[in-house]
Structure 1
Amino acid sequence: MTGPSSRLAQPVARAFQYIGNRISHLEILPTGVRAFGSSAPESSVALIRQLRERTGAPMKDVKSVLVQCDWDSEAAYTELRKKGLAAAGKKASRVAADGLLGVAQESRAAAVVEINSETDFVARNDLFQHLVSQVAKAALLAESSPGSAGEAAVINMEALESASVELSHPKLSGRSTVSDAVAEVASIMGENVKLRRGFHMSSSSGFVYSYLHSSTHSGLARVVGLLSLEPQESPSDSQSGSDPAELSTLGESLAMHIVAQRPLFLSKDLVAEEALQHERNILTSQALASGKPANVVEKMVSGRLSKYVQEVALLQQKYVLDESKTVQAVLNDASKQLQRQYSIGRFLRMEVGEGIQREEKNFAAEVAAQAA
């Protein structure tokens, strides 16, 4: 006859055996995050990324549903749709031409990134703004390729997207890649959010200055001007850690000039031949249309082409705060006061949405379509 203690021992033993089997499959990650190693396929990360891009759903929900559906991507997609987490229309197909520029700056280096949204409403959201600020900080350390003479370095976007970023916002916190952080914010905002481009500028012996136009928060703006001021080499003080106040004032005012006057090239010598030829063709056509003799046309084109160069070359432009002087003259005057020659090494003007074709909507047709 089996006693009460024997009858109790059997289920307890089976319970311990079950727990032992589960523990044998449990993987303890270095970070303390637990995951069942046998339940997820080797391609789990790829599955999560693919389903997330397809649905726009938050990563934690994508992973949870994939586990629930035994890593069956189609079944998980259906389940996300049932939960209302899969977007009915793919957000990535919608034009994102609004957004913000984020600037992270040190005395000798600065990085600027553009993150786009579909509407100004999202661009004014504090979560979106937090994302832009944190990505700009990550961009300071990102890999970049040298720009042409006088231009900022171009940040490698693949490297930046893979970089680590720390978010600490009530709606989204923790460490992830930049790419994942952008996708999470897009999912929360319900809009297409894209990291579009980034630039880096640094100086080994000079300083980098910026001007942020229409900036309502530190490090955020819709138009940004950057430039580096380089001193004439001097072994005794080239490694000085701080810049004179007068130089800082000059740098910031020149950055503001860049925003206002939209230069395309650093100096007349760096104006691209392609740009000159394009402008020359236009001016020649205009002059010939006036019916002037060929020798007069040649002089007209030469004069107008010279004026064009003065308008697009930064050093030859009239200084926005004193149009009686060129930018080069302002630099020369400041150098005399500072008793050291300074020159502009590189510059950048960047504006949200420039170059993006905005979608033109026919509101009447949209209303009619919805009423049909």
Structure 2
Amino acid sequence: MAFSAVTKRSRSIRAILFNARLFSNSTCRSRRFTTETSSSSSSSASNQTNLIKQLRERTSAPIKDVKAALMESNWDIEAAQTELRKRGKVLASKKYARTATEGLLALALSHTHNRAALIELNCETDFVARNDIFQHLALSLAKQALLVESGTQAQLGFGAGGFHVGPENLEELKLNLEHPKISGETTVHNAIVEVAAMMGENVKLRRGFVMSTSSNGVLSTYLHTSPQPGLGHMAGILTLEVEDGNSQLDALQRVGSELAMHIVAAKPLFLTKELVSSDALESEREILKSQAETSGKPQMAIEKMVEGRLRKYLEDVVLMEQKFVMNDTINVKTLLNSLSKEVGSPVKIGNFFRMEVGEGIQRLEELTASEPVTQAV
């Protein structure tokens, strides 16, 4: 009896120990499986995070768009990038109707500095205008405009040394963008669309001008509020022509630079009084007459008031009649006379123009080429 009880007790103990070992082994296997699964999941999440980061760096697209494109492309980064570019073109076309009044002017000069191109690239906010990709595109477009030739200068109202360059002249030209995020050869139009998609704003090439000077002349430029060389929000460009090609180049360049700055500050509309159109004069005369008539003075006094104010108007808008901003005791005409004596040969202004980002956009969406700039004959 005692022996039978001991035997039963031993069997029970062995069964308990066996079951315990089974449970222990099962638990260990379960733990190993859980750990392996967790490790695999963690590794996958890490890879996905890296892909999101890489595609974000490549495209500058919003993170939510980057992640969505990767998920739809089964985490294939090349396919996702292509998908983002397709989406971007659709989004950019939808944004095209939105008004873009911010942006930058970009200036490019030939290696001989006798030819310059200035373009205006618009966006919706100053934040985008400060973006490196936007600025790179603007400078690239200016360099492209520098290569454009025109046979319609006379029709556009310019002298022989300047002509207007619009989007229609540039959009289908090839452009090689050497930038980490938008590198490769494409057209000007496609480059603008791609940058618009990346920035999430309407980006628009609005206008451009090209100016050149003769071998005896000097071309001078000035950019105001410039975030980096070649970019600015306001610009003045002019050419000084001299009869004697052996004249003092330093003096011409010094005065040319000062006059380019003057053009930005003083905002001239015409080079000489003779170039002021009769329509512009009559329009201003009517405005001044209406203002003078409110004084209640006799007609003869009113006519004198109008003529006096008209002379003041011409001093304000005609470059040669304007007070020189760096020395208001003389006007620009006197400055050029002094320069002619200094270099020993007659000096004249060949062409000039002034441009400012966004000017006239809210007043009129499409400015004519002659509105922001008046040239010499």
Query: TM-score if structure 2 supplies the norm length?
Result: 0.69
CA–CA distance in structure 2, aligned partners of residues 203 and 313 of structure 1: 22
Higher helix content, 1 or 2: 2
- 1:148 and 2:163 equivalent? no
- In structure 2, stretches of 5+ residues that fail to align are 1-64, 74-81, 364-377
Q: How does 1:254-265 map to 2 (within 5 A)?
A: 254-265=259-270
- 1:222 and 2:226 equivalent? no
Q: Is the deviation greater in 218-227 or in 140-149?
A: 140-149
Q: In structure 1, what is the equivalent of residue 140 of structure 2?
A: 134
Q: In structure 2, what is the equivalent of residue 291 of structure 1?
A: 296
CA contact (8 A) 2:92 2:196 kept: no
Q: In structure 1, what is the equivalent of residue 28 of structure 2?
A: none
Deviation at 1:157, TM superposition (A): 2.8
CA–CA distance in structure 1, aligned partners of residues 213 and 273 of structure 2: 23
**Could you tell me which amino acid in structure 2 is paired with residue 318 of structure 1?**
K
Secondary structure at the counterpart of residue 300 of structure 2: helix
CA–CA distance in structure 2, aligned partners of residues 149 and 176 of structure 1: 31
Deviation at 1:88, TM superposition (A): 9.7
Q: Spell out, residue by residue over 1:207-229, the C-alpha distance to the aligned partner (whole angstroms, 9 max, x if none).
A: 21100001121110000000011
Deviation at 1:156, TM superposition (A): 4.2
Call closer, same or farther: CA 1:307–1:132 in 2, change over 3 Å.
Answer: same
CA contact (8 A) 1:152 1:348 kept: no
Deviation at 1:187, TM superposition (A): 1.1
Call closer, same or farther: CA 1:243–1:154 in 2, change over 3 Å.
Answer: farther
Q: How does 1:151-300 map to 2 (within 5 A)?
A: 152-205=162-215, 206-232=217-243, 234=244, 237=245, 244-300=249-305
Q: In structure 1, what is the equivalent of residue 76 of structure 2?
A: none
- 1:101 and 2:105 equivalent? yes
Q: Spell out, residue by residue over 1:284-342, the C-alpha distance to the aligned partner (whole angstroms, 9 max, x if none).
A: 01111111111111111111101101110001000000001010110111111111211
**Could you tell me which amino acid in structure 2 is paired with residue 129 of structure 1?**
Q
CA contact (8 A) 2:107 2:117 kept: yes
Call closer, same or farther: CA 1:149–1:87 in 2, change over 3 Å.
Answer: closer
Identity %: 50
Deviation at 1:142, TM superposition (A): 1.3
- 1:304 and 2:315 equivalent? no
Task: Kindly report the root-mean-square deviation, in angstroms, between the aligned alpha carbons of the 2 structures.
Answer: 2.6
Q: Spell out, residue by residue over 1:35-71, the C-alpha distance to the aligned partner (whole angstroms, 9 max, x if none).
A: xxxxxxxxxxxxxxxxxxxxxx9xxx9xxx9xxxxxx
CA–CA distance in structure 1, aligned partners of residues 149 and 190 of structure 2: 19
CA–CA distance in structure 2, aligned partners of residues 339 and 350 of structure 1: 32
Q: In structure 1, what is the equivalent of residue 3 of structure 2?
A: none
Secondary structure at the counterpart of residue 104 of structure 1: strand
Deviation at 1:84, TM superposition (A): 6.2
Question: Which is higher, the Rg of structure 1 or of structure 2?
Answer: 2
CA–CA distance in structure 2, aligned partners of residues 88 and 110 of structure 1: 30
CA–CA distance in structure 1, aligned partners of residues 250 and 176 of structure 2: 33
Secondary structure at the counterpart of residue 269 of structure 2: coil
CA–CA distance in structure 1, aligned partners of residues 107 and 253 of structure 2: 17
Query: TM-score if structure 1 supplies the norm length?
Result: 0.70
**Could you tell me which amino acid in structure 1 is paired with residue 147 of structure 2?**
L
**Could you tell me which amino acid in structure 1 is paired with residue 281 of structure 2?**
L
Q: How does 1:17-166 map to 2 (within 5 A)?
A: 86-87=90-91, 90-106=94-110, 107-144=113-150, 145-146=152-153, 147-148=156-157, 152-166=162-176
**Could you tell me which amino acid in structure 1 is paired with residue 171 of structure 2?**
E
Deviation at 1:280, TM superposition (A): 0.4
Q: How many residues align?
A: 277
**Could you tell me which amino acid in structure 2 is paired with residue 227 of structure 1?**
L
Deviation at 1:190, TM superposition (A): 1.1
Deviation at 1:143, TM superposition (A): 3.4
Q: In structure 1, what is the equivalent of residue 40 of structure 2?
A: none
Q: In structure 1, what is the equivalent of residue 350 of structure 2?
A: 345
CA–CA distance in structure 2, aligned partners of residues 175 and 357 of structure 1: 34
CA–CA distance in structure 2, aligned partners of residues 344 and 84 of structure 1: 50
Q: Spell out, residue by residue over 1:119-138, the C-alpha distance to the aligned partner (whole angstroms, 9 max, x if none).
A: 11110000100000010001
Secondary structure at the counterpart of residue 96 of structure 2: helix
Q: In structure 1, what is the equivalent of residue 50 of structure 2?
A: none
**Could you tell me which amino acid in structure 2 is paired with residue 119 of structure 1?**
T
Q: In structure 1, what is the equivalent of residue 48 of structure 2?
A: none
Call closer, same or farther: CA 1:112–1:335 in 2, change over 3 Å.
Answer: same
Deviation at 1:159, TM superposition (A): 2.1
CA–CA distance in structure 2, aligned partners of residues 199 and 243 of structure 1: 28
CA contact (8 A) 2:105 2:357 kept: yes
Q: How does 1:318-329 map to 2 (within 5 A)?
A: 318-329=323-334
**Could you tell me which amino acid in structure 1 is paired with residue 149 of structure 2?**
E
CA contact (8 A) 1:161 1:178 kept: yes
Secondary structure at the counterpart of residue 218 of structure 1: coil
